[in-house]
Each structure stands twice: as structure tokens, then as C-alpha cells.
Structure 1
Amino acid sequence: MDERETVLSVRDIHVQFGGHVVLHELDLDVYRGEILGFVGASGTGKSVLLRTILGLTQKQKGCIKIFGRDVEKITEEERIQVDMRMGVLFQHGALFSALTVLENIQIPMREYLFLPKALMDELAMLKIELVGLSRSAAGKYPSELSGGMIKRAALARALALDPDIVFLDEPTSGLDPIGAAEFDDLIAKLRDTMGLTVYMVTHDLDSLFSVADRIAVLGGRKVCVAGSIDDMLQSEDAWVKSYFRGKRARRIDPPARLATAGAEV
């Protein structure tokens, strides 16, 4: 019997737009403290599922439980409490262009908390430093930031309320290999220091090998395979086999990669 605490439980989810069915009878669990990598071919519905979990896309059927609560059967006040325990990093950062980094990070605080400005400034600065940005980044606008800085600023906003679970949508897309590796390392360190649970939609094989504790694969409108990297490498599912063992797959085994990574730290 699996004794891990389930932070997110998705059951029998069905989502369609008009006559186009995107997700059907989809089940998924995310456990406390893990980094789950969620993958699938382009256009299969990875972002649709993420948006459905967050309540941004309407489902036609199914049950979503977050922290053990059915999100459709709780009061508005209880839903706010659940929302405060979640952080989201949208693809490309989705920072507000007219606001500084400091002001972007303070958006969740202003929405959910009643704090003096000085305290919000102090908390936002702590988040800026937490994600590896310099304090001087606080007064910059998104147009003045590099791609990597935008990702870190968006992550700081996702962490503004000290959430229990963070949702990351393609967090390393658009970053060079060094920047992507540094961001992966940051995610792993934050998980360990803050006790985060991480739901990460990604296409990045390096991220999956380096930081994902478990991987779920979306195919045929549902989660077709879920497990460790070793499970992915041994799977005979056609898409999984092509993705993890194809021409662009890694040429080293996970144990060797982990030993190399440990030597570099």
C-alpha cells in the first residue's frame, strides 16, 4: 500500500472543446515533496490539464482534489485557502510589463493578504534573493530582464505566499543549456529547503533526468505511463520509447548521470 501523502488527486477527467475531446478518463496523483515531470507530445493537452487543475479551464467530468479537498465541494473561503497554498509559474513568465519585479511579486500578497507596504517590500525582496536574483532587480521592468531573469522573477512571484505546491509550465523553455541547468538546480534546492511539491510540465529531457522524482506521460487523452526514469527507459509504449530512447535521448544511464552530477556539486 502506498503511504505517501497525496497532495493532488485527479480522477476520471474529461475535457473537450466542441466536438474535440482533449482529455478522457484521465487519472493522476502527485505526492508531497516530489518533483513530478509531466510530459507528452505537443498538442496532447498538457497545458489543458494544468489549466483545468487550476480552475482556468472547465471540465465536463471528473474530480480534482487538492490537499484532500474536492475543489467543487468547498466553500469560496475554503477555495481561497487552497489557492493560497498553490503557486504558478506560467510559460514565458507572464509578468505584467507595466510593473516592476518587486510589484509583480507582490501581486499575490495584495490579492490575499492585508499587509503594510513596508512588510510587503521586505517579503518581496526575500523572494528575489531566494531565487538567486540580485536586490537591484527589484526596480527593473520585465523588458529590462534577460530570459533567465524573467523565469526567476516569475518563480519568485509563484513563491510569494510560501505555497505547498508549485505548478511550473515549461520552466526551462527558451533558456540556454547552462541557464536551464541552473534553473533545474534552483528548483531542486527550493524543493529541499522549503518542502515544496512540484508539478512540472516540460519537454526538457535534461530536466527530467536531473530533477524529476517521477514522470507522468500524457498519451491517448490520458496518463498512459507513470513512474521513475528507469520505468520510462524500460517502457515499450511507442511514444515513450521514442522520446526517452530515441535519436535525441541521453546516451548515459541515470546512475552514471547522477554520479557525474554529484561530483560537480
Structure 2
Amino acid sequence: MPPSDTDTTPRNRDDDVIIRAKDVTVRFGSKTILDGLSLDVRRGEILGFVGASGTGKSVLLRTILGLNAKQSGTIEVFGVDYERADEAARLSVEQRWGVLFQQGALFSSLTVLENIQVPMREYLDISPKLMDELARLKIDLVGLAADAADKYPSELSGGMIKRAALARALALDPDIVFLDEPTSGLDPIGAADFDELIMTLRDTLGLTVYMVTHDLDSLFQACDRIAVLGKKKVLVEGPLQTMLDFEDDWVKSYFHGKRARYVVPKDENPYFSGNE
């Protein structure tokens, strides 16, 4: 429960950290992907995680989720070191996160309703009727029509797949959702609508959002903080203005480059000319 306006108890900033990665190193064979990386994710924020292709954005995400092994360092989620935790502690953590993988990763042989019910069947002991009701609530929550429940992934548009996958990520009412390139493949209107949905869900459900993305519009419009991966570590993290002020060639070309000209203020973008 958040403190009241009259609460004078000092707050520890560490209490707001949901994910803490410290000195994390990940290698595949002889190739080092992450080397001593550290990053905090704070309660209630939308964190955009960005970097050049192949730098390890999805690798860090999968490592946080326990899907990739790390060679050194620690990762705590909700104060639990997932790698060292016993089965009961891991189960408790897993029920508090939801994941939207790239391309949605829906099971092609299951309907949308059945896809959403997969985490429920894994972790909850509830009746089929209640499971159906909860899954339909999630379908409505992400803005899908009610008749989407009985459709298979092959019958869905790209935007519908993303929303169905998000509904599955929300199946257990998580505290944090991980989104891996959530707007990839969507048209600009669909991507903007999805960003708006994420912001609305964060505000209404009190979610924390960890979003791996390369979408400049998402970074500028939806994210409270941005972390940039480069040289196998987090180069810089902070609000948008920190990115715009940071002196690094890749960061400058990304946030001030030609692709950014419609989202960066004209007076801050060297690629704008007087005729644009």
C-alpha cells in the first residue's frame, strides 16, 4: 500500500526496485554477450531497453527469466535470487510475472481462450468455468472482441496476435510484464494503439513494464526510463533527456538520427532543415 500524504516514514529507494541485475556476465561458448552488466527496474515504471541488433537485449531478458544461464553476477526479482531459490520460491516469483515473447509465441493448435488459460492450468487450481470467465476478462482487458476467444492464431491479424499474447501474459494478474519487441511488425497506427494500451494497463493495474524495443515512438511516448545496451553493458540509463544529452556516437545517432526526426524536437535534431 502506498504511503498516505501524512506518512512521514522515510522511504528506502531500494524498496522500489523490483529487478536488480548486478555484474551479470553471460557467455555462449567463447563469445561473451554481457560482461559485468548492472541494471535496476523500479516498481510502476515502463522501462525501455534498447541497443543495436545482436547486442544482447533479448539475452538479458531470457537470463532474468532463468531461460539462459549466466557465468557470474546476481539477478534478484522481488528480492529473490531466482537462480539460487528453492522450488517454492521460484514458483512464487513465476506467478508474479508475465511474458510477451517476440511474435507472440502463441500455441498454434490452441484457440486464443486456450492460450490464455495455459498459465492458469499450470499454476492455479480453479474450475474450468472460472478459468473461462477469467480468460474472457483478459480478452476484454486488452481490447480484443469477444469472438476472438474461439479463433486460432492463424486466423488473427498481427495486432490481434500481440494483444492475445499480452492477454496470456496478464493471465495470473502479474506485478511485472516483460515485453520483447511488442510493436515489431505492426503498422504505425497499430503500434501507437499498443503503446497506449500498455500505458493504460500500467496505470490501471499498477504494472511494472520491462520492454525490449527498437521502436523510437515507443521509447519517446511510453517509457518513463530508457536503458541503452552497448559494449556488453548498460551504457546509460535514465529519462529521455538523459539519452538526448549523452555523449556516445551510437546513442547520438539513434536518438538524434534521421529516423528520429519526427519524434525529437526540431531544435534538438541536427538532421532537420529549414524546409522540413
Please state which band the TM-score falls in when normalised by the shorter chain: over 0.9
Task: Point out where structure 2 has 5 or more consecutive residues left out of the alignment.
Answer: 1-11, 268-276
Alignment TM-score, normalising by the size of structure 1: 0.94
Aligned to 1:154: 165
User: SS at 1:189's partner residue?
Assistant: helix
Aligned to 1:16: 27
CA offsets 1:162-190 (integer angstroms, 9 cap, x no match): 00000000000000000000000000000
* 1:174 has 2:193 as partner: no
Aligned to 1:79: 90
Measured after TM superposition, the shift of residue 251 of structure 1 is 4.0
How far apart are the structure 1 equivalents of 2:23 and 2:94? Answer: 22
* 1:110 has 2:121 as partner: yes
* 1:101 has 2:105 as partner: no
Q: Which one-letter code corresponds to 1:241 in the other structure?
A: K
CA offsets 1:189-224 (integer angstroms, 9 cap, x no match): 000000000000000000000000000000000101
Aligned to 1:196: 207
Aligned to 2:6: none
* 1:227 has 2:238 as partner: yes
Structure whose alpha-carbon radius of gyration is higher: 2
Q: Which one-letter code corresponds to 2:20 in the other structure?
A: S
Q: Which one-letter code corresponds to 2:147 in the other structure?
A: S
Aligned to 2:3: none
The percentage of aligned residue pairs carrying the same residue is 69
Q: Is the 8 A contact 2:220 2:263 kept in 1?
A: no
How far apart are the structure 1 equivalents of 2:83 and 2:49? Answer: 24
User: SS at 2:119's partner residue?
Assistant: helix
How far apart are the structure 2 equivalents of 1:127 and 1:3? Answer: 32
Q: Which one-letter code corresponds to 2:234 in the other structure?
A: V
Measured after TM superposition, the shift of residue 253 of structure 1 is 4.5
| Aligned partner (choices 61, 68, 71) of residue 79 of structure 2 | 68
User: SS at 2:109's partner residue?
Assistant: coil
Cα gap change, 1:197/1:236 in structure 2, threshold over 3 Å: closer, same or farther?
same
Alignment TM-score, normalising by the size of structure 2: 0.90
Once structures 1 and 2 are overlaid, which stretch shifts more, 241-250 or 205-214? Answer: 241-250
RMSD: 1.5
User: SS at 1:206's partner residue?
Assistant: helix
Measured after TM superposition, the shift of residue 4 of structure 1 is 5.9
User: SS at 1:171's partner residue?
Assistant: coil
* 1:246 has 2:232 as partner: no
| Aligned partner (choices 187, 193, 205) of residue 198 of structure 2 | 187
* 1:126 has 2:148 as partner: no
How far apart are the structure 2 equivalents of 1:43 and 1:253? Answer: 25
* 1:52 has 2:68 as partner: no
Measured after TM superposition, the shift of residue 2 of structure 1 is 4.1
Measured after TM superposition, the shift of residue 238 of structure 1 is 1.0
Once structures 1 and 2 are overlaid, which stretch shifts more, 74-83 or 116-125? Answer: 74-83
Q: Is the 8 A contact 2:227 2:234 kept in 1?
A: yes
Task: Point out where structure 1 has 5 or more consecutive residues left out of the alignment.
Answer: 257-265
Aligned to 2:100: 89
* 1:31 has 2:42 as partner: yes
User: SS at 1:248's partner residue?
Assistant: helix
How far apart are the structure 1 equivalents of 2:219 and 2:193? Answer: 14
How far apart are the structure 2 equivalents of 1:240 and 1:62? Answer: 26
Measured after TM superposition, the shift of residue 74 of structure 1 is 2.0
How far apart are the structure 1 equivalents of 2:103 and 2:239? Answer: 27
Q: Is the 8 A contact 2:216 2:263 kept in 1?
A: no
